[in-house]
Structure 1
Amino acid sequence: MIKRFFIQFFLGKRLYAALVAICLTFLVSYWFTALFTLGVILLYTLGFFFLLDTVFLFRQGNGLVANRLLPERFSNSDANQVLISLENKYRFAVKVTLIDEVPAQFQMRDFEIFDQLEAKEKKEVFYTLTPLERGEYIFGDLHVFVLSRIGLVKRRFSFQKGQMVKVYPSFIQMQQFDFLATNIRRFDYGFKKIRRIGHTMEFEQIKNYIPGDDIRSINWKATAKSADLMVNQFQDEKSQPIYSIIDMGRVMQMPFNGLSLLDYAINSCLAFSNVAIKKGDKAGVITFSHRMQKSMQASSRKSHLLGILEMLYGLDTDFLDTDFGLLYNWLKRKVSQRSMLLIFTNFEHQTALQRQLPYLKAIARQHLLVVVMFENTLLESLTEQVPDKISEVYKQTVAEKFMYDKRLMAKELNRHGIQTILTKPSELSINTINKYLELKARGLI
């Protein structure tokens, strides 16, 4: 009991301030002796209120109850809310200071939340955490320091040691892009306009012509019979196998805004697979580096998305060199049906692309290949600065050369019939989904 008392017992700032004031009173009383009596009175008064405050806070065993409410899982690279419920069981108002031992991955050493509770009041407070890595995150103790209105003594309550939450690929981002799969006639998706080119040849129905329909689809026989313009309506072909292939080599280790290119690719893969499945296509995932790692067969079942989520959550890599020849041989043996292959990778210079180009061309002869590469936003910001020194001019020149090489690599891939996405990491998901919708509208898949 005594040990528990001393573990929970802390001194308030107001007590230290009062002691400093009394010490100054005694110091000044060396020259003004009348202040000595005042100092003694203040000291006894402080001691009385100190004991009174201690009794108020410690006479009730469970004066305050707190509970940390965590979601079932966190979404990587998104703001996740942590809710804390508080209940004041004292018969007087208290001030509280919350100190939550957040997981070590966040490196937050100054976490504090200040609030106030009236007598018998219940309240909920929340804060947000934005993880930048997948994996298990362990929360420590939730400490609540309580002060009465006297404010000389603090009592510490501790709750819920060792809570764990798993950080999954960004399912919040996946839900944000859900609407892209709902309406096949949308021209403006809110993020970036899509130019829908042509249509597929899978017939759906004959309907009345309305402004905006393709005049090439007019059915003249049906028009003659009904005396109204009638058009053939086509729908996108479905059940096409689509694979997201994630390069887990060292080129994907580069970080932007605290998140590696690999995690950007994983988040985009989840959002893209969700849209593909809702559009009726089969979505699958393949990962590789110096060896073939995990893979999941393409499927259009709704429950398949949960399997993709679990697979992406467990991805781990040593960021070694990538073997595209190994990927080509694996695809030749395992993926016999013509499919759309979306490869998330990165080439920083021409020689790196030239080494892998023969394998990419061989894959493109059998499948619809889309290569996703990343723009270096740090180089872009460097070129936008106004140089003050000759050395800064040199740096800008080198940065512009690297950016120009990236555009040349994209054109080189296009020249060999390989579709290319050159995008900023932050815009990866929307650009990937837009490319998929464009290719689907053109009837290429």
Structure 2
Amino acid sequence: MKKFLKSLYLKKRFFSVLFSLALLFVVSYFFQELFGVVRLLFYLLLALLLFDVLLLFRNRTGIKAERILPEKLSNGDENYIEIKIINRFQFKVFLKIIDELPLQWQIRNFKIEANLNASEEKKFTYQVRPTERGEFHFGNLNVFSSSVLGLVARRQQFSAEAMVPNYPSFLQLKKYDFIAFSNRLKLFGMKKIRRIGHTMEFEQIKNYTTGDDIRNINWKATAKQSNLMVNQFQDEKSQPVYSVIDKGRVMKMPFSRLSLLDYAINATLVISNIVLKKNDKAGMFTFSRKINDRVMAQRRNGQMHLILETLCNVETDFSESDYSRLYVDIKRNIKQRSLLLLYTNFETLDALHRQLPYLQAINNTHLLVVIFFENTELKMFMSQKATTTHQIFEKTIAEKFIYEKKLIVGELHKYGIQSILTAPENLTVNTINKYLEIKARGLL
């Protein structure tokens, strides 16, 4: 009996009809001839209520429901979750589906309303966008069924508790893996440039043209063809590329509910995959007060899995990052000249100048690319029209901060340090572009 009462819900329609009858009873006090009619309507309501209860609870199975979850969620992307519903009633039912979503999303008004014909099966799909890595725990699946009368609803609760881990953006990884090696690069703001190298990896023999290095003339081929022939070489392969992630407090700033640290983690996953596809060595490490999460640059089976698992556990420590320790660690542990993609953020020139000596020292032995972020919220604020003196003052301050970011780019360029100033949402594309440009120009 207790189980029956827990699953029985009186609907809004029942209370609306009951309230109307109560008003009619009040009116019948003044018009005695109405009293018998109203009493008959009241008994009819009770009969319909009982009939509705019998309709919904006579079938023990009622509704069958199942939530279909992905093996893992992709951070910062739209993930699809399915709910499969089968109607075991012999009549059309009206459903309200309430899924108990993980606490991280703080969604308290989730529901799906639909109707199913007798013995019909349907799948419902909804999207979720997680913005923090970790474990996401789903609760039970609740389905409220009602008949065409709509006086009561039967709740069936399906035990569907499950934990799904949220990984760095592997959906983005798959997308750019396809794009970077297709002919659709330009559609996504990227271009693929092929450059003939001058190292000792032989590619082909070709006819001499003005501008070719005369040191590469192949005299044997020249004698056979009676025409100047030169050797053509490819760029060296397997160059180390490290993604260096600042996990200090400056990287906790959120944009579109995703922190700069998570944007950097997603970009690191994508660029590491492309580096390996380009036959280079991919590695990574993080730094703040000390160096953590180190994966040495290698090109081997399982390297991407190792990088992915390492990135899953990266968390900020909200401290001031120590660039002197970063310089010492790089000097001690990375002996071969490497491309270092440094994901960090500088808001002012003073912040850059404090770290500039260490960045210069790193750039002397490696190719350093400093990647930092535009404040897109300031840009949105700048696009709004100022109507008061206070707003004009605020816009002036915002413009100063935006301009200072451009000065930082110029300051890094003055000291021969490569840089990328990017909006957070364009980080991955711009990082890929820079890597392809460096490979094309043979800077490493």
2:188 counterpart residue number:
191
Counterpart of 2:24 in structure 1 is 25
**Contact 2:203–2:234, Cα closer than 8 Å, also in 1:** no
1:392 matches 2:375:
no
Cα distance in structure 2, aligned partners of 1:216 and 1:190: 33
- Of 402-411 and 140-149, deviating more is 402-411
- Secondary structure of residue in 1 paired with 2:355: helix
Q: Tell me the equivalent position of 1:201.
A: 198
What is the match of residue 143 of structure 1? 142
Output the TM-score relative to the length of structure 2.
0.93
Shift in Å at residue 58 of structure 1?
A: 1.1
Does structure 2 conserve the Cα–Cα contact (< 8 Å) formed by 1:282 and 1:299?
yes
- Match of 1:160? 159
Moved more, 349-358 or 376-385: 376-385
| 8 Å contact kept, 2:422–2:430 | yes
Name the residue aligned to 1:407. 406
The residue that corresponds to 2:268 in the other structure is 269
**Letter in structure 2 aligned against 1:350:** L
Which residues in structure 2 correspond to 1:6-405 (within 5 Å)? Answer: 6-182=5-181, 188-194=185-191, 196=193, 199-202=196-199, 203-206=201-204, 216=211, 234-405=233-404
3-state SS of paired residue (1:125): strand
SS of 2:98 mapped into structure 1 = strand
**Using a 3 Å threshold, how does the CA distance of structure 1 residues 155 and 293 change in structure 2: closer, same or farther?**
same
Distance 1:155 1:227 in 2: 92
Q: Separation in 2 of the partners of 1:232 and 1:412?
A: 41
- C-alpha change, 1:235 and 1:302, in structure 2 (3 Å) is farther
- Structure 2 vs 1, CA of residues 153 and 206 (structure 1 numbering), >3 Å: closer, same or farther? same
3-state secondary structure, aligned to 1:29 = helix
| Alpha-carbon distance in structure 2 between the residues aligned to 1:153 and 1:253 | 49
In structure 2, C-alpha distance between the alignment counterparts of 1:55 and 1:320, rounded to whole Å: 64
RMSD of the alignment, in Å? 2.4
When residues 443 and 21 of structure 1 are mapped into structure 2, their CA distance, relative to the original with a 3 A threshold, is same
Please give the alpha-carbon distance, in whole angstroms, between the structure 1 residues aligned to 2:54 and 2:262. 54
The C-alpha deviation readout for 1:170-203, integer Å capped at 9, x for no partner, is 11111111135425xx695322254848542245
**In 1, Cα distance between the equivalents of 2:181 and 2:194?**
19
Distance 1:180 1:233 in 2: 28
1:348 is paired with a residue whose SS is coil
CA distance in structure 1 between the partners assigned to 2:173 and 2:132 by the alignment: 17
Deviation at 1:236, TM superposition (A): 3.9
Q: Specify the SS of the correspondent of 2:186.
A: coil
SS of 1:22 mapped into structure 2:
helix
Structure 1 counterpart SS, 2:122 = strand
Once residues 87 and 191 of structure 2 are traced to their aligned partners in structure 1, the CA distance between those partners, rounded to angstroms, is 55
Deviation of residue 235 (structure 1)? 3.8
Structure 2: gaps spanning 5 or more residues:
none
SS at match of 1:392: helix
- Provide Cα deviations, 1:378-399, integer angstroms capped at 9, x if missing partner: 2222222221112222212211
**Is the 2:206–2:232 Cα contact (8 Å) retained in structure 1?**
no
CA distance in 1, matches of 2:433, 2:223: 38
Hey, which bits of structure 1, 4+ residues long, moved more than 3 A?
193-199, 202-209, 214-236
The answer as to whether partners of 1:101 and 1:141 remain within 8 angstroms in 2 is: yes
Quick check: 219-228 or 116-125, which moved more?
219-228
- SS of 1:68 mapped into structure 2: strand
- Kindly provide the amino acid, as one letter, of the partner of residue 53 in structure 2: T
Q: Which moved more, 1:159-168 or 1:432-441?
A: 159-168
CA distance in 1, matches of 2:228, 2:169: 47
**CA separation in 2, counterparts of 1:386 and 1:151?**
51
**Partner of 2:403: helix, strand, or coil?**
helix
Q: CA deviation at 1:34?
A: 1.6
SS of residue matched to 1:309: helix
**C-alpha distance in structure 1 between counterparts of 2:429 and 2:222, whole Å:** 40
Deviations 1:320-359 (A, max 9, x none): 1100111111111111111111100011111111111111
Name the aligned partner's letter for residue 89 of structure 1: R
C-alpha distance in structure 1 between counterparts of 2:184 and 2:360, whole Å: 32
Distance 1:46 1:433, change over 3 A: same
Do the aligned residues in 2 keep the contact of 1:68 with 1:160 (CA within 8 Å)?
no
Return the alpha-carbon distance in structure 1 between the equivalents of residues 223 and 319 of structure 2. 66
Taking the aligned partners of 1:371 and 1:430, their CA distance within structure 2 comes to 15
**Which amino acid is 2:241 matched to?**
I
Q: Is the 8 A contact 1:199 1:442 kept in 2?
A: no
Q: Corresponding residue for 2:436?
A: 437
Tell me the SS of whatever aligns to 2:30.
coil
Unaligned 5+ segments in structure 1 are none
Summarize deviations over 1:115-145 as a string: whole Å, max 9, x none. Answer: 1111111111111100111111111111000
Provide the identity percentage: 46
- 1:32–1:236 Cα change, 3 Å: farther
Within 2, Cα distance between the matches of 1:279 and 1:398? 44
> CA contact under 8 A between 1:138 and 1:164: conserved in structure 2?
yes
Aligned pairs, how many?
Answer: 438
Q: Is the Cα contact below 8 Å between 1:199 and 1:443 reproduced in 2?
A: no
Which has the higher mean CA deviation after the structures are superposed, 108-117 or 230-239?
Answer: 230-239
SS in 2 for 1:189: helix
Separation in 2, partners of 1:426, 1:404: 20
Corresponding letter in the other structure for 2:55: F
Give distance in 2, aligned partners of 1:371 and 1:198.
24
The 2-side partners of 1:108 and 1:101 are apart by: 9
Letter in 2 for 1:160: S
User: Equivalents in 2 of 1:91, 1:225: separation in Å?
Assistant: 88
